[in-house]
Amino acid sequence: MTDQPTKTRRQRDPRLDFFRGVAMLIIFVAHIPQNHWSNFIPARFGFSDAAEMFVFCSGFAAAIAFGGTFIKAGFWHGTGRVLYRIWQLYTAHILIFFLIAGLMLAGNAVFAEPNYVGRLNLHFFFNETPKALLGLLTLTYVPNYFDIMPMYMGALLMIPVFMALARVDPRLAIVFSVGVYCLNWMYDGGLPAHPNHSHIEWFFNPFGWQLVFFTGFAISRGWLTPPPFNRTLMAACIVFVVAAAPISHWWFFVGYQDSLPFLADWRELTLPWRAKTDYGILRFIHFLALAYIVVNLVRGREHLLLHKAFHPIRTVGQQALPVFLLNMWLAQFGGMMLDQLGRSQATWALVNMAGLVIVVLFAYLVTAIKKEWWRKAIETRATRPVERGNRATPALSPAE
């Protein structure tokens, strides 16, 4: 009787892997420069986008990965695991910066135009390298394209405080997250992103974005319970999501701003409340509304996500960090290909589809490496008799 619950807890939630995989694929499409396909990603039809999906799922997964360690092994062991993960993310952040910077230099060397270093606004790094390098290593120089990883590290750094408060009462942890969010808005908090310009801040402010991260964390730990299905609430969420689309999608705004001038007024009115940097509250509400709709549509049908047709997406979601790093590099490379091939429906389809296939194949490769597929081959060869002439002799042991 006691073994069954433990087994159930260890089962992967297909919703987590699936939606994190969806977020990774959308992030790739969204980051290809001047990509026509990015006009049809969720961000164009609402206040929230794939970033919320990624951060929420990351918080949910962090609760699974670290929450048990805090409870079973103690506070300091849990903190150690979190710090080690932050170190992994930090080294990945530094590495991907140099890989992409090198790609931009290669693009400038091979192609006459455009200026790829300028496209990512990396002139400061190459013109004032000593100062920029120190800023890069201390996270006081965070160019726009490289901003989500530092935010993620900042959110992880708050986990020990969150868990310490939860030991007293989980409600204190939730109050802490909401309090940090409110204080950030009251005092315009932010972290410097450029050594020469103090007004330039991290594009993803961790003091704002931690709200969606710890929402996923708290739900995963069972400290927050999503509301059950309610027809009135469901209708309200649908109305809100539909109403947000016209003032979020550029085509609606430009196409109807003359015939429907109130759209421009709504767009202007909502701008401060859907800001991305400090995480405007409308983004959070929009994400929660979408999540409520989707969760209720999927409820009772979670097994459908285990269908083999969705296995590639789930595999991408299971390898979120390496896939995200590949996405950043591959999206810029895809942009280079479009620059040289020309942008048309055919080339957009070619670059996007080829990139998505590469992302999926890469996720399968990482999965295979993590499973150490070669060990089975080694064990098989170690137990297989070695044929010498007509005699079969045992395989040599490792010691021999």
Please state at what angle helix 148-157 crosses helix 50-73, rounded to 10 degrees: 30
Q: What SS3 class is residue 203?
A: coil
Rounded CA separation 25/27 (Å) = 5
For residues 177, 182, 183, 187, the Cα torsion angle rounded to the nearest 10 degrees is: 150
Tell me what pLDDT residue 398 has: 43
Tell me what pLDDT residue 247 has: 82
Tell me what pLDDT residue 333 has: 96
Tell me what pLDDT residue 157 has: 96
pTM value is 0.87
- How confident is the prediction along the chain (400 residues), in pLDDT tens digits per residue? 444 444 444 567 888 999 999 999 999 999 999 999 998 888 888 899 999 999 999 999 999 999 989 999 999 999 999 999 999 999 999 999 999 999 999 999 999 888 999 999 999 999 999 999 999 999 999 998 999 999 999 999 999 999 999 999 999 999 999 999 999 998 888 899 999 998 899 999 999 999 999 999 999 999 999 999 999 999 999 999 998 888 887 666 666 666 667 777 777 788 889 889 999 999 999 999 999 999 999 988 888 899 999 999 999 999 999 999 999 999 999 999 999 999 999 999 999 999 999 999 999 999 999 887 777 777 777 776 655 555 555 544 444 4
Tell me what pLDDT residue 227 has: 92
Tell me what pLDDT residue 146 has: 94
For 359-376, letters b (16+ CB in 10 Å) and e give bbebbeebeeeeeeeeee
Tell me what pLDDT residue 189 has: 85
Rounded CA separation 86/120 (Å) = 25
Q: What angle do CA 182, 185, 190 make, to 5 degrees?
A: 115
Tell me what pLDDT residue 400 has: 44
Q: In this structure, what token pair is assigned to residue 334?
A: 């895809």
Tell me what pLDDT residue 378 has: 76
Q: What SS3 class is residue 393?
A: strand
Tell me what pLDDT residue 3 has: 42
Rounded CA separation 325/317 (Å) = 13
Rounded CA separation 359/343 (Å) = 22
**Domain-by-domain residue ranges, the chain?**
3-381
